[in-house]
Chain A
Amino acid sequence: MIRTVLRTEHVTMQFGGVIAVNDLNIVVKEHEIIALIGPNGAGKTTAFNDITGVYTPTKGRVIYSPAEGSEADITGKKPSDIAKMGIARTFQNIRLFKDLSVYENVLIAKHLHLKSSFVAATLRLPGYKKEEEAMRADVERLLKEVNLWDVRNEKASSLPYGKQRYLEIVRALATKPQLLLLDEPAAGMNPKETSELTDFIRQIRDRFNLTIFMIEHHMDLVMEISDRIYVLDFGNTIATGNPTEIQNNERVIKAYLGEDEDA
């Protein structure tokens, strides 16, 4: 049996009178790449925010299993605690530490595993020094692997748009996640860049043994690498299945092409 890494049970999110996400039930298994698609305003990012603790769902539970045989209810936990448990994410509208260097951006993501106290860190006690060296070595390896080492001293905001997307993914990887949530990683990319990104996502999945859950609009990318797809529309899950099933689903086609009468 393959382990279920993430499971949402009847997750519902209501803002005032608006139901952004309604009864969301998603299952993400180990090593899978799962996509969440749907028209704008369907509640995809809200679903991500419910999972990563930015919002607490109005109803339902989010269950995360970091390892075989262990399960935790992470509903409403703090984002930082959820990150520490092994869920990392990127953001739809890139949220890098803009004024800091590429190197610092990634190094900061190592902070969550630091064991030394602030006193030990300030006094540069041997334990801290060791940890700091290990963190830096890790970051160096990561940046070299994704070809960002040469620009390590550049300001994050000075990188070209595409590189910023990569940097954000690398920063998330630096937290050593089990589960990586990507919020529209290919937004603003041309077809060539998108296809490179497709390869990259597959590579990091295998290289870092990740499970990936992503929101995406580029259908080429989604159809090519997703194991399964969930389709949201007005907060409701209107379809689930593998890429071929989704491509032929009546309701999905309708949701995307629009209907004459109100949905």
Chain B
Amino acid sequence: MNKDKRNIMLTLVALVVLFGVACFAQTEIDSYVRRIINLCLIYAIIGLSMNITNGFAGQFSLGQAGFMAIGAYMVGIFTVPVNLRADVFYATPMHPWLVNIYIPLWLALILGGVLAAVVAGLIGTPVLRLRGDYLAIATLGFSEIIRIVITNATSITNGALGIKNIPPLNDVRYIFLVTAISYIIITLLLNSSYGRAFKAIREDEIAAEAMGIGLFYHKNLAFMVSAFFAGIGGGLYGALLGTVDPKNFLFTITYNFLLIIVLGGMGSITGSMFGAIIVTAGLEYLRLFDEPLEIMGVAIPLFRPGLRMVVFSILLMICVLFWRHGIMGTNELTWEKILNFVKHPLAGFRKKGVQGK
């Protein structure tokens, strides 16, 4: 009990310190770097959300792009200032019911999450009976259907033209707070009895069911919570970009989050955070591969647009082929380990095994 309290205190202190860093970053760092930090934070939310289904409940879903799109469009449709909407919807006017409805960002984020969760609930009913690859392909299909519907619902979403003029949100403090809250909620859920039930389903569905864990309810719960946070992350993503477009939500974007959770460790919360930072920052850093490179006046012909994504996909392959458990496996970085590390450097990492109480 005492240890729990100490850990909660340490977590709170860490969050306050990080928030301080975020405030500092907001005023002192140039907007390009801030954008990367924000992208890291947003990818962390969505990576975590994907880990709920794929890592903890063991349900291999590839629907994240679709749920993100729902969140992003909720922000896009309702947070563009009313007077700018005619400019945005210049080809097909916005539906008259919607044209005067404005919703503040925080509410649009929550509503986007809720709508994504509702859609996930509807999709989950037929789809979550499937296993493995079938589930993957079905969720991927639904993610594309969501995108196709968005592309065709022109009077609501402006179709293929996308929605511009979303008030841009390049605010580290705001995005950090949303990320921190999402992180805390997801951690609390996954460490509760429900989270344990998810893990039981991942380990052995038949045994879990025989222990009284309702598969349908728990899989759907995981799927909906996952969609909720993907929706929130998508909303922030739209706000960060200042524009949403169906092409932003092609299912290939889901692969980014797949890499995040594979790299971080499927079934590790802290792993997803590391994964998000490494992948996002890495993708940004890899941009130098896309620039022409000259060494002592000689242009290296390999470096041209596209190389970055090649390197990125090779990294994904290396990761899954040679480093299947990622950074954390299913373990977590806990305060115990950090404190042990501080006291006896390296000893804390030597002992491998599962952690419990």
Contact = CB atoms under 8 A, between A and B. Distances in A.
A–B interface present (Cβ within 8 A): yes
Contacts of A158: 353
Interface string A96-109: 11111101100111
A52 interface: yes
Between A109, A110, A114, the greatest number of chain B beta carbons within 10 A of the residue's beta carbon is seen for A109
Interface in B210-233: 210-215, 221
A204 B73 CA distance: 58
Given A122-B188, A136-B357, A153-B354, A79 B209 contact: yes
Interface stretch (B83-91, B192-200, B250-258, B286-294): B192-200
A153 B355 contact: yes
Contact of B212 (A84, A118, A128): A84
A113 B212 CA distance: 9
Nearest to A79: B209
Given A153-B353, A155-B353, A110 B193 contact: yes
B356 A95 contact: no
Contacts of A91: 206-207, 210
Interface string B232-269: 00000000000000000000000000000000000000
A97 B196 CA distance: 11
Interface string A66-108: 0000000000001111011000110100011111110110011
Contact of B189 (A84, A121, A171): A121
Interface in A44-83: 52, 54, 78-81, 83
B64 interface: no
Contacts of B354: 99-101, 104, 153-155
Nearest to A84: B212
Interface string B53-71: 0000000000000000000
A123 interface: yes
B196 A107 contact: yes
Chain A interface extent, by class: 35 or more
B203 A100 contact: yes
A73 B98 CA distance: 53
A130 interface: no
Contact of B214 (A80, A122, A132): A80
Contacts of B204: 95-98
B211 A111 contact: yes
Between B188, B330, B355, B357, the greatest number of chain A beta carbons within 10 A of the residue's beta carbon is seen for B357
Nearest to A87: B210
A83 B206 CA distance: 12
B318 interface: no
Nearest to A106: B211
B324 to A, nearest CB: 13
A136 B203 CA distance: 21
A189 interface: no
A128 B356 contact: no
B192 A128 contact: yes
A139 to B, nearest CB: 10
Given A95-B207, A97-B200, A97-B207, A104 B193 contact: no
A97 B199 contact: yes
Contacts of A103: 356-357
Contacts of B212: 80, 83-84, 109, 111-113, 175
A166 B356 CA distance: 20
Interface in B283-338: 330
Contacts of A110: 193
B185 interface: yes
Nearest to B194: A118
A152 B209 CA distance: 23
A179 interface: no
A53 B199 CA distance: 22
A24 interface: no
A111 B188 contact: no
A103 to B, nearest CB: 5
B210 A152 contact: no
Given A99-B203, A104-B199, A118-B194, A83 B209 contact: yes
A107 B206 CA distance: 17
Contacts of B210: 52, 54, 79-80, 83, 88-89, 91, 95
B188 A108 contact: no
Given A152-B356, A155-B354, A171 B211 contact: yes
A131 B196 CA distance: 15
Contacts of B197: 108, 111
A202 interface: no
A116 B356 CA distance: 22
A154 B196 contact: no
A251 interface: no
6 contacts: A78-B214, A79-B206, A83-B209, A95-B204, A97-B208, A104-B196
Interface of A: 52, 54, 78-81, 83-84, 88-89, 91, 95-101, 103-104, 107-114, 116, 118, 121-124, 128, 131-132, 135-136, 152-155, 158, 171-172, 175
Interface of B: 185, 188-189, 192-194, 196-197, 199-200, 203-204, 206-215, 221, 330, 353-357
Given A100-B203, A111-B197, A153-B354, 20 more contacts: A88-B210, A91-B207, A95-B210, A96-B203, A96-B204, A97-B204, A98-B203, A99-B354, A103-B356, A104-B196, A104-B354, A104-B356, A108-B199, A111-B211, A122-B192, A122-B194, A132-B192, A132-B193, A175-B211, A175-B212
